[in-house]
Structure 1
């Protein structure tokens, strides 16, 4: 009887994976320091969201860390910061060209979800939890990432003394707008 019920329920469920449209999706970041902030973009290499009927149940993404781009600077200043962000002081993109996020738990229904996932940056995987809104072929999330958890300690007052106005805050903002 239980097997018949499980088969009946499964036949009414529609599991579907929806690939993210990389060209129409956008990831922006903001890094904060004592004297201000810098803004930029990051490109998705690939990504997909998983649904059961219309309910979000999973997802997996790969970010192209070599695409890190500063948008608030121009010329030599921009080139210098972009190069520094790609260096081993920050994301070490030569050795770690991608970062990944794999959802491990999704709670919620309708359009509002709380997502927990494993974020891997520079070969280090840590859990992260954030809110995500999903509606009509798009998904949005905004969250903070503590870079020091991924071995990125450059300019952190938590690890270096006497940085004064050269200190860079440990957390940076990531804003994600996905189209699928």
Structure 2
């Protein structure tokens, strides 16, 4: 293969991938009415501060991606003492790890909706997770993502505290086209 042929092939591949990404609709969180709820034995509450990029189109799943984070400082159990303990250096250690991050690797169709497979990063640990979700369109340019998944807190070095190992997470995220 000549250098010119190689350059044309690389340019074509790059242009194709850029076009595929552009095909997915860009979404942004509609307002502060979204809910990320967590529940485990001994603690439950919400977390806010959702930021990032969401590109999703049910007709263009290969081009769909999620790269989002939440601010652990917004964690609210409804109990200020529990909030303080959760943010301290022996649990979430928000001084060093203020964000929980998720970056998808792929989005696929399922019988009941979709899944997003990617890396969930809490503190200094990144682990693969599969997040099942649905997307409900709500008129022109709006919709709601809903999902439910669980994680084992000990997998992310969240070992101290008298709470259950498995944390259930519920997501209800209203969005609008960016």
TM-score bucket of the superposed structures, by smaller chain: 0.7 to 0.9
Deviation, structure 1 residue 54: 4.6
On the 8 A contact 1:100/1:119 being kept in 2, the answer is yes
Distance 2:46 2:104 in 1: 22
Deviation, structure 1 residue 146: 0.9
Instruction: List runs of 5+ in structure 2 lacking aligned partners.
Output: 1-11, 138-142
- Give TM-score, length-normalised by structure 1: 0.74
Distance 1:52 1:139 in 2: 12
On the 8 A contact 1:139/1:179 being kept in 2, the answer is yes
Distance 1:52 1:118 in 2: 20
- Secondary structure in structure 2 of the residue aligned to 1:85: helix
Alignment partner of 1:172 is 2:167:
yes
Deviation, structure 1 residue 152: 1.1
- Secondary structure in structure 2 of the residue aligned to 1:168: coil
Over residues 129-170 of structure 1, what are the superposed CA-to-partner deviations in whole Å (9 max), with x where a residue is unaligned? 121011111000111111111111114xxxxxxxxxxx5321
Structure whose residues are more often strand by fraction: 1
* Residue aligning to 1:15: 24
Deviation, structure 1 residue 58: 1.5
* Residue aligning to 2:65: 58
1:35-114 equivalences under 5 Å are: 37-52=42-57, 54-56=59-61, 57-71=64-78, 78-108=79-109, 112-114=113-115
Distance 1:119 1:63 in 2: 11
Aligned length: 152
**Residues 19 and 38 from structure 1, CA distance in 2 versus in 1: closer, same or farther, beyond 3 angstroms?**
same
On the 8 A contact 2:23/2:60 being kept in 1, the answer is no
Distance 2:59 2:33 in 1: 21
**Residues 153 and 113 from structure 1, CA distance in 2 versus in 1: closer, same or farther, beyond 3 angstroms?**
same
Instruction: List runs of 5+ in structure 1 lacking aligned partners.
Output: 72-77, 156-166
Structure whose residues are more often helix by fraction: 2
* Residue aligning to 1:163: none
- Give TM-score, length-normalised by structure 2: 0.75
Deviation, structure 1 residue 30: 0.8
On the 8 A contact 2:113/2:132 being kept in 1, the answer is yes
